[in-house]
Amino acid sequence: MKKQSKKKPLRVWIRSRSGRKCMMGLLFLLPLLSILFVFQYVPIIQCITQSFFQYKVTDLPGRFVGLDNYIAVFSSDLFLTYLSNTIILYLFLILFSFFVPILQSLMLFQMTKTRGFFRYMYIFPTGITALAGLSIWKYIWEPEGGLANFITSHLGLGTHQWLYSEELVKFCLRFPGILGGGMIVVLYLVTMNNISNEQFEAAKIDGANGWQIIRYITFPGLKGMIYIQFLLSLTGSLLAFEDVYMMTQGGPGFSSTTLVLGAYTKAFKEQNFGQAMAQSVVILIFTLLIAGFVNARKSKRED
Amino acid sequence: MKKRKNKVKLSFANWSLKAVAGVMTVIWLLLLLFPIYWMIITSLSGTGSEYQEKVSFVIDVPLRYTITVDYTEAEAKALGEDGMYLQANSIIWRMHNYQQANVGKTEVIATVEGKQPVSYSLSKANFEINQEKFWTKNILRHEDIQRAIHLIEERNLVQVKEGSLLKEGNSNEFTEEMLADFLEDENLAGTITGCTQTKSYANLFDNYKIAWAYPDKIGIEGGLLKPIMNTLFVAVATISLNITISSTAAYAISKLLPRSLKGKMQLLIMATGMVPPTITLIPKYQVLQNLGFADSLWAIILPACASFGAVLLFKGTFDAYPNEILEAASMDGAGELYLYFRLALPAAKGVVGVQILSIFASTWNEYFWPSMIIRDESKYTVSLIINYLMNIGSANFNVLLALGFLISVPTLLIYALFQKYLTYGIDFSGIKG
């Protein structure tokens, strides 16, 4: 198409049908591209440039400081705290929320007549507004009159400060994941539905029982998706901070401040935008590396 | 959407597996629903956590405290109707303030030598909503009530009913003594003849009333209605802009652009999916501030107008739409706008529905970005009200959870009624990947 247009003069090409179509197409794309430009491209460019400057409101963009911000980020003691907090939160996430939906969907898959109902009920709690869900758990962890202390004191484990305790706060933030449910269960169910019936039938003819079918057919069929979810949870956890911020605001002390939350506090509490941006760029590089790895695995699977 | 063909598969499960699966699924479901149950019983139960030491797994029905005050005829004459109203108020408000158990309603029944009972009652909702407006102190004296009595009367906070009879219930001697001391201290007329408590089912929903009126406390007039309208405005604007912008762009990529441009444009759009929105939060805030959109609802709407995910969904549908039909219509003299509006967009009805639901749910849920950008209380969205109550205001969990449930009603309904459409995206990617 383009070759044709090059032969004709531009004025003629624009009047032709393909020319008009192309012009119309660009016009159709314009709103999307301009919004993406303003709210995606400009911010990311600003993020990268500001990370090389010492931010000053009076004199933008401030003084060029080269890699100083990056050096400051890496040499600060808090960076290690943030990093270890993020990693510990991630490990708790894996422990509590990663295996549960897999198990739930495997069990749900066995229920043939009632699956629709249970699938429905498993997604239902997702309808609770995010902040309302967090406030339920804030109440459960409340040291005075909360449910957690009620249970532990009755089990003879004593009472704890939960969200206000430096040791327990990370556990408390990730523990709710143990309930499972939500869209991820549906995702696994859909994946299991895509396993071909022939495999199940062949196993049946070979005399396999239900447990063996899970072990040798259903679970292996799910493996690829589990692996992708595992890698995605890595990026998700690296970026996690909204729920943490709402529950503890990074406290007590810095004991639940993640990398992103650290950048956020640097920007808005300390007005140190340069370092905040440098930290963001570091996180971005981490996520891009992980995402690249995920995509490589994905395309490998598709081949 | 996907056809399900699992009928064959179920015959494989043996009974032990089925039993384990059934038990585990049911237990997990109960655990999963427990927070919602907990939320509902807490929101219906009485007092705030500040006073509450016990944990209850059933609804702790609010109590109605009834005090009978008897006046001699001389006292009644000296006080008159207004005087009795004032004194009853003194007792009610003080008692409501003092009583630390689960109060739903406090009532004073004034009698004149055992006859002509008049009941004055104050509900918890009226107490909680107005108390801070009138007084900031903890212990109310008779003179405090005297100062605010015209406001109480004006707003009709205390219900007066004549001919009310004393209801039976457990007597509460502790309160009785406390109030007798109070009358003596303040030199008030009358003698307290009894104090009883009964369950007051009429006050079960008082926490919801308090939650509805909560925005008034932070200077938003009209209660929760204003934040709801704000959120609806954001949702409607985001939905219509997002659908228009993404579907036109998807149509352009799918049907209008020459092949050489197609790939480049697609790359330009997909690349934005690589950068997680969390990273650009701070610079996005600066950009919006420079554009003069800070502290405006448009700061929530505009960034949500373009998402590469929506473009992908629309593009998938348009790609499947046969070019021949478009060509034929074009031969008949139809313009590109006509083709898009009359042929392509109706074919993508399903995606439009999915987008409406998922954007609505995400707007209703969004809290961090609005809490960053919106400072002006009159522009608060619903989640900012919860945020305020949770992190800034005094956290009375009964009211907080009532508010949370109230605000979750629309999303709960959407997830219950349109679940199929919300899982459409997952089914879609499930088929592909």
Interval B89-117: pLDDT, tens: 888 888 877 766 678 888 888 888 877 78
Q: Is A50 on the interface with B (CB under 8 A)?
A: yes
Q: Which chain B residue lies closest to A51 (C-alpha atoms)?
A: B283
pLDDT of residue B433: 34
pLDDT of residue B234: 95
User: pLDDT digit string (tens) for B353-383?
Assistant: 888 888 998 899 888 889 888 888 888 999 9
SS (H, E, C) A190-220: HHHHCCCHHHHHHHHHCCCCHHHHHHHHHHH
Lowest mean pLDDT among A107-111, B12-16, B274-278, B344-348: B12-16
Quote the pTM value: 0.85
- Residue that has been written with the tokens 């962890």 in this structure: A141
Interface contacts A/B by beta carbons within 8 Å: 332
Q: How confident is the model at residue A287 (pLDDT cuts 50, 70, 90)?
A: confident
Task: Tell me what the mean pLDDT of segment B384-392 comes to.
Answer: 85
- Tell me the percentage of chain B whose pLDDT exceeds 70: 89
All residues of chain B having their beta carbon less than 8 Å from the beta carbon of residue A31 are: 244-245, 248-249, 306
Burial zone of A210 (CB within 10 Å; 0-12 exposed, 13-18 middle, 19+ buried): buried
Nearest-by-Cβ selection for B25 from A118, A178, A239:
A118
Whether B29 sits inside 8 A of A1 (CB atoms) is no
pLDDT of residue B44: 86
Q: How confident is the model at residue B239 (pLDDT cuts 50, 70, 90)?
A: very high
Lowest mean pLDDT among A33-37, B27-31, B121-125: B121-125
Does the pLDDT at position A239 exceed 60? yes
Task: Tell me what the mean pLDDT of segment A225-243 comes to.
Answer: 82
Does the pLDDT at position B12 exceed 50? yes
Q: How far is A139 from chain B (nearest CA, A)?
A: 7
B257, two tokens: 């652009």
Q: How far is B296 from chain A (nearest CA, A)?
A: 16
All residues of chain A having their beta carbon less than 8 Å from the beta carbon of residue B302 are: 35, 38-39
Contacts from B347-354 at CB under 8 Å and sequence distance 24+?
A: B347/B317, B347/B318, B347/B321, B348/B247, B348/B314, B348/B317, B348/B318, B350/B317, B350/B424, B351/B247, B351/B313, B351/B314, B351/B316, B351/B317, B352/B243, B352/B247, B353/B421, B354/B313, B354/B421, B354/B422, B354/B424, B354/B425
Lowest mean pLDDT among B112-116, B184-188, B246-250, B416-420: B184-188
Whether A211 sits inside 8 A of B248 (CB atoms) is no
Name the 3-class secondary structure at B351. helix
Where in chain B are the domains? Answer: 63-203, 211-432
pLDDT of residue B430: 42
Q: Is B219 left (phi over 0), alpha (psi -120 to 50) or beta?
A: left
Q: How far is A15 from chain B (nearest CA, A)?
A: 13
Q: Is B35 on the interface with A (CB under 8 A)?
A: yes
H/E element, B20: helix B15-44
Interface of A with B in 110-139 (CB under 8 A): 110-113, 115, 118, 120-139
Contact A52, A203 (CB under 8 A): no
Inter-helix orientation angle B281-290/A259-268, to 10°: 30
Burial zone of B288 (CB within 10 Å; 0-12 exposed, 13-18 middle, 19+ buried): buried
> What is the amino acid identity at position B149?
I
Q: How far is A57 from chain B (nearest CA, A)?
A: 11
How far apart (Å, rounded) are the C-alpha atoms in residues B236 and B246? Answer: 15
Q: Number of helices (H) and strands (E) in chain A: give both, helices first.
A: 18, 2
All residues of chain B having their beta carbon less than 8 Å from the beta carbon of residue A142 are: 49, 397
pLDDT of residue B5: 47
All residues of chain A having their beta carbon less than 8 Å from the beta carbon of residue B413 are: 127
Q: How far is A23 from chain B (nearest CA, A)?
A: 8
Closest CA to B425 of A190, A115, A107, A41: A190
Q: How confident is the model at residue B217 (pLDDT cuts 50, 70, 90)?
A: confident
Q: How confident is the model at residue B405 (pLDDT cuts 50, 70, 90)?
A: very high
Q: How far is A169 from chain B (nearest CA, A)?
A: 17
Does the pLDDT at position B10 exceed 70? no
SS (H, E, C) B51-105: CCCCCCCCCCCCEEEEEEEEECHHHHHHHHHHHHHHHHHHHHHHHHHHCCCCEEE
Domain B211-432, CATH homologous superfamily name and number: MetI-like (1.10.3720.10)
Interface of A with B in 66-105 (CB under 8 A): 100, 103-104
Considering chain B, what is the average pLDDT of its residues? 81
Task: Tell me what the mean pLDDT of segment A131-139 comes to.
Answer: 89
Interface of A with B in 190-249 (CB under 8 A): 190-191, 193-194, 197, 200-201, 203-204, 208-211, 213-214, 225, 228, 235, 239, 241-242, 245-246, 249
pLDDT of residue B30: 92
Nearest-by-Cβ selection for A28 from B16, B17, B252:
B252
DSSP 8-state assignment for residue A123 = H
Whether A128 sits inside 8 A of B10 (CB atoms) is no
User: pLDDT digit string (tens) for B32-63?
Assistant: 999 999 889 888 887 643 445 567 788 888 88
pLDDT of residue B7: 45
Task: Tell me what the mean pLDDT of segment A103-125 comes to.
Answer: 86
Does the pLDDT at position B384 exceed 60? yes
Interface of B with A in 228-247 (CB under 8 A): 244-246
Q: How far is A122 from chain B (nearest CA, A)?
A: 7
pLDDT of residue B229: 92
Task: Tell me what the mean pLDDT of segment A162-166 comes to.
Answer: 86
Considering chain A, what is the average pLDDT of its residues? 84
Q: Which chain B residue lies closest to A21 (C-alpha atoms)?
A: B256
Whether A131 sits inside 8 A of B414 (CB atoms) is no
Whether B387 sits inside 8 A of A264 (CB atoms) is no
All residues of chain B having their beta carbon less than 8 Å from the beta carbon of residue A141 are: none
Does the pLDDT at position B312 exceed 80? yes
Q: Is B225 on the interface with A (CB under 8 A)?
A: no
Task: Tell me what the mean pLDDT of segment A105-120 comes to.
Answer: 85
Task: Just give the CATH number of A70-302.
Answer: 1.10.3720.10
Name the 3-class secondary structure at A165. coil
Name the pairing type of β-strands A63-64 and B191-199.
unpaired
Angle (CA) A246-A251-A254 rounded to 5° is 130
Contact B234, B305 (CB under 8 A): no
Where in chain A are the domains? Answer: 2-50, 70-302
Q: Is B9 on the interface with A (CB under 8 A)?
A: yes
Task: Tell me what the mean pLDDT of segment B263-285 comes to.
Answer: 84
Determine which of B282, B293, B389 to mutate to test the interface with A (most A C-beta atoms within 10 Å).
B282
Q: Is B333 on the interface with A (CB under 8 A)?
A: no
